[in-house]
Chain A
Amino acid sequence: MKNLKIPGDFRGQALVEIILALPILLLFVAGISQLAVTFLCYVQFEHACGEAARQYAAGTINKDALGSRIANNLGNLSGYFDIGSLDIRIQTPSNNAEKALDKVRHSISYFPFVPHYEGYEWSISIKVHPPFLFKLIFPNGITFRTVMQVYRYPT
């Protein structure tokens, strides 16, 4: 039996393997980091909405300023958001009890000297331009949506 000898040597094998594997490895690492960024964006959006609602409840802003305050509260991650796509809608309450209370509050507001609390339920959405890998999967961006309700005593 004659030994078969493969011409050349194996010194470059590890290098070739690394060169082949590195893009895949980097792709995975980038995927993980970009997933983390996307999650952070969502948390920041939730936080920004909550903070703006808190400021509304504290009487420091009115309902018309909610959008600009949310945009300000997005902080360092605001680069990922399409601020122009920020959409704030006042929602009608989803259950009958809330609808009934709304009517009562509305009726009371016509009586002078009788105080009444006020507030809204907002549906807020914004488009996010995700980092490049997610952009391949979501070419039109990702839309974050949230609903929140708060009332305040008029100050």
Chain B
Amino acid sequence: MAFQKLRDFNQNPLGQVLLATLLFCFVFIALFLGLYKSGQAYIVKEETRRAVNLTSLTGGAVYANGLQLVREANIVIMGSAAFDAAVIAQSIGEALLAPPPLDVAAVALAAEKADPHSRNPAQDIFAAVFGVDTPAGIGAYPALIAGQAYLTANENSLSLPPYNAYNYETAKDIDAVAPNMALRFRHADEFLPDNNVAPYSLMHNGVRHYFYSDQVESADNPRHPKQMRVKKFSSSEFAGWWVRREKGGLDDGGAGNLSGQNPFSKVTGIGLLKKYLHQFKLDITDRDDPPCHSFTTLGNMKVKTGAQDKSLYEVGEVRVETKGISAWDTGKPFQIYLVKVNIDAFPVLRQSLQTLRNIPVLNNILQSSDILNGL
């Protein structure tokens, strides 16, 4: 009955005009609403990008500040090491001046005995401060980086908590997400030169790995136009990592992967000396060579689309570069800059987060988060 009435009403011109007007209004209201919502989403996207970039830059600034503090810590450590070296030199002087033949074992033993280890307290303190050689590189200063980034993300209106990655380009598993500064202690043997047999190398956790030309490719980028890296899609565990060009390295066109080998160790005398010197822990240095110090933030903001909230994710990465963090590099400047995020590398982050899920307490936090869907 009502339908019939409506049909009759639409038969006359007044009804038709009213219907057309209603349709007209509906179309434009829909257009207005669509524009408003997409505009809102666009604004939130821009805000998220800005917040993520500023949080990353803040993390990078605190990181650089920490690396400068590491340099100053190295002055203390190397000062203590110089004192220790002087004491050792004085005590082994007698053994060296003894008539030949030289008793190398006696000299080594005397040096070990005479070592006052005055550098050890400083090393222990700075290890705890900067997270050097601690599990997953956890320390007070890396915690400050994470804390400051968290607070800045909060002030920049990011949904909390943001997810940060630390030096993920050269991190393995949990190292990528646990706050760390990619540092380690240098040992005295590292001052001895290596006998290069391949044209490219990288160092990770104190072990140098060599690569031939057919194992590397260009990692061309505006700041490092001649940078090379291990082939990204190779089976190497270092696939995608940057490598350093070795001076005088031979290239026999791919005689095999020399990863992990230290060819100089084959020379017995030098090998033994290196082994002996390895026990002398010195200053703090980069975990990797070429050094990798980066801070990445994966943040999100929520936007209301209809009845449901939607999260907009953005990633910002900052690289911190400088020419060395040794005591003698104290005056060298830092370059802190945003880089285009290599999204291909984020499986590394996903893998690290999944490792964290195996820890019961963290699993509860991650369960309530949609971060893994966001990646």
What chain A residues lie within 8 Å of B50 (beta carbons)?
46-47, 49-50, 53, 148
Beta-carbon contact of B58 and A119 below 8 Å: yes
Whether A54 contacts B32 in the complex (CB less than 8 A), given A121-B155, A148-B156, comes out as no
Stretch of B1-9, B179-187, B331-339, B353-361 lying at the A interface: B331-339
Beta-carbon contact of A115 and B69 below 8 Å: yes
Stretch of A32-40, A61-69, A82-90, A131-139 lying at the B interface: A32-40
A61 to B43, CA, bound (A): 26
What chain B residues lie within 8 Å of A101 (beta carbons)?
147-148, 151
Beta-carbon contact of B43 and A42 below 8 Å: yes
A31 at interface by CB-CB < 8 Å: yes
B102 at interface by CB-CB < 8 Å: no
Q: Which partner residue on chain B sits nearest A39 by CB separation?
A: B39
Q: Report the interface size for chain A: residues with CB under 8 A from the other chain.
A: 38
Q: Mark B38-71, 1 if CB is under 8 A from A, else 0.
A: 0100110011011101100110111011001100
A149 at interface by CB-CB < 8 Å: yes
Beta-carbon contact of A95 and B54 below 8 Å: no
Report the minimal beta-carbon distance from A94 to chain B, rounded to whole angstroms: 7
Identify B155's interface contact among A47, A94, A153, CB under 8 A.
A94
What chain A residues lie within 8 Å of B47 (beta carbons)?
46, 146
Beta-carbon contact of B32 and A153 below 8 Å: no
B154 at interface by CB-CB < 8 Å: yes
Beta-carbon contact of A117 and B65 below 8 Å: yes
A68-96 interface with B by 8 A CB criterion: 93-95
Q: Which partner residue on chain B sits nearest A116 by CB separation?
A: B65
A110 at interface by CB-CB < 8 Å: no
Report the minimal beta-carbon distance from A102 to chain B, rounded to whole angstroms: 10
Beta-carbon contact of B155 and A43 below 8 Å: no
Beta-carbon contact of B28 and A149 below 8 Å: no
A18 at interface by CB-CB < 8 Å: no
Identify B54's interface contact among A28, A50, A97, A98, CB under 8 A.
A50
Beta-carbon contact of B334 and A155 below 8 Å: yes
Identify B156's interface contact among A54, A116, A149, A152, CB under 8 A.
A149
Beta-carbon contact of B64 and A43 below 8 Å: no
Report the minimal beta-carbon distance from A76 to chain B, rounded to whole angstroms: 16
B157 at interface by CB-CB < 8 Å: yes
Identify B72's interface contact among A113, A121, A153, CB under 8 A.
A113
A47 to B46, CA, bound (A): 7
B36 at interface by CB-CB < 8 Å: yes
What chain A residues lie within 8 Å of B51 (beta carbons)?
148
Beta-carbon contact of B147 and A97 below 8 Å: yes
Whether A54 contacts B57 in the complex (CB less than 8 A), given A35-B32, A153-B65, comes out as yes
A22 at interface by CB-CB < 8 Å: no
Whether A36 contacts B35 in the complex (CB less than 8 A), given A50-B53, A153-B61, comes out as yes
Beta-carbon contact of A39 and B157 below 8 Å: no
Beta-carbon contact of B42 and A39 below 8 Å: yes
What chain B residues lie within 8 Å of A58 (beta carbons)?
57, 336-337
Identify A151's interface contact among B58, B69, B337, B338, CB under 8 A.
B58
What chain A residues lie within 8 Å of B18 (beta carbons)?
none
What chain A residues lie within 8 Å of B43 (beta carbons)?
39, 42-43, 46
Whether A35 contacts B53 in the complex (CB less than 8 A), given A98-B151, A113-B72, comes out as no
Beta-carbon contact of B64 and A28 below 8 Å: no
Beta-carbon contact of A153 and B39 below 8 Å: no
A140 to B31, CA, bound (A): 27
B159 at interface by CB-CB < 8 Å: no
B265 at interface by CB-CB < 8 Å: no
A121 to B36, CA, bound (A): 29
What chain A residues lie within 8 Å of B49 (beta carbons)?
50
Whether A43 contacts B46 in the complex (CB less than 8 A), given A32-B32, A36-B35, A117-B65, comes out as yes
B152 at interface by CB-CB < 8 Å: yes
B306-358 interface with A by 8 A CB criterion: 333-334, 336-338
Report the minimal beta-carbon distance from B4 to chain A, rounded to whole angstroms: 25
Q: Which partner residue on chain A sits nearest B45 by CB separation?
A: A43
Q: Which residues of B contact A (CB under 8 A)?
A: 28, 31-32, 35-36, 39, 42-43, 46-47, 49-51, 53-54, 57-58, 60-62, 64-65, 68-69, 72, 147-148, 151-152, 154-157, 333-334, 336-338
Some 10 contacts from A to B, beta carbons below 8 A apart, are: A46-B46, A50-B50, A50-B54, A53-B54, A58-B57, A95-B154, A115-B72, A121-B155, A149-B156, A152-B57
5 additional A-B pairs beyond A93-B155, A114-B69, A152-B336, beta carbons within 8 Å, are A54-B54, A149-B155, A151-B58, A152-B61, A153-B61
Q: Which residues of A contact B (CB under 8 A)?
A: 28, 31-32, 35-36, 39, 42-43, 46-47, 49-50, 53-54, 57-58, 93-95, 97-98, 101, 113-117, 119, 121, 146-153, 155
In the A-B complex, the 9 residue pairs with the closest CB atoms: A50-B50, A39-B39, A153-B64, A149-B155, A57-B57, A115-B68, A153-B61, A150-B54, A151-B58
